[in-house]
Amino acid sequence: MLTRNQLRSMASRQQSCRGVLICQRSSLACSAAVRPSAPLSPMILSTATAAIAATIIQLSAAGVSVAAPLYDNLPGFGGDTQNVFFQAMRNEVEHRAPDLDDIYDENLMTEDLRKFVDAVMDGKLKPDQYQAERRKMNFRRDLDGRVSLRSREGRWFSVRPDMQVPGFMLLRDQSGDVFFLPPDEEGDGLAQLDLSDDVVVAELFSNTAWQDVMEPLSVRLDDGSVQQLRLSEHEFRSVVSLVEDAEEPVEEPQTGN
């Protein structure tokens, strides 16, 4: 299972990685373009169907709204929201640029998240209450167990593991564009996130920090052009792996001035 610390380390990889991850798959090469600031034009690839296997991955896509987080358990102040030092620290955290180390710090667990975790662990939720409480945590689960995540902008992403490369998570938005979350920086090839556990999903994904780590998954066509991979929901659910046999391409040497 991927721990909070392991997922946190994924964030640093996003800041330092500037390569292209290539996945050879017959005439189609899946590449992860690690340039989030440069949008790629999505394209429907009919040849992608040849890479789809029969295994069904359970996923879902749905949407809800959540309230902004309130940091009420900053370290050193015992959660006393009236403490002047607590208020000063909270103000600094809420107004500075996002820091994934802070986002994944359990000391910054929101009140709603803490209540959700306690309710699940203590068995306090009735069956008909679960879905509403999940929605407060920025995710939902279909009757077949499939999970979807909500971004800050309200976009919804189906999420599932890559079945051949443990540690990689695959995401698909409602338009069909495909993304991935890389494994932890320590390279734990056996690490895998248990999406069947509501507590795990809520703790790691409810604050939407995952979208600062995700990278677009693209395809390199026969003519050498690169386009973001777009799959139907059925294709995305059925494919066994999009990362298997991935390799770093040889980077072209940079010429001096």
**pLDDT bracket for residue 139 (50, 70, 90):** very high
Share of the chain above pLDDT 70, in %: 49
**pLDDT bracket for residue 76 (50, 70, 90):** very low
Exposure letters 118-149 (e unless 16+ CB within 10 A, then b) = ebbeeeebeeeebeebbbbbbbbbeeeebbbb
Check residues 100 and 73 and name the one with the higher pLDDT. Answer: 100
Q: What is the pLDDT of residues 179-212, one digit of tens each?
A: 988 776 655 544 567 888 999 899 889 988 898 8
Q: How far apart (Å, rounded) are the C-alpha atoms in residues 172 and 222?
A: 24
Alpha carbon 221 to chain centroid, angstroms: 26
Q: What is the pLDDT of residue 256?
A: 58
Q: How far apart (Å, rounded) are the C-alpha atoms in residues 109 and 70?
A: 8
Q: What is the pLDDT of residue 85?
A: 54
Q: What is the pLDDT of residue 60?
A: 26
Domain boundaries, given as residue ranges, for the chain? 4-67+130-247
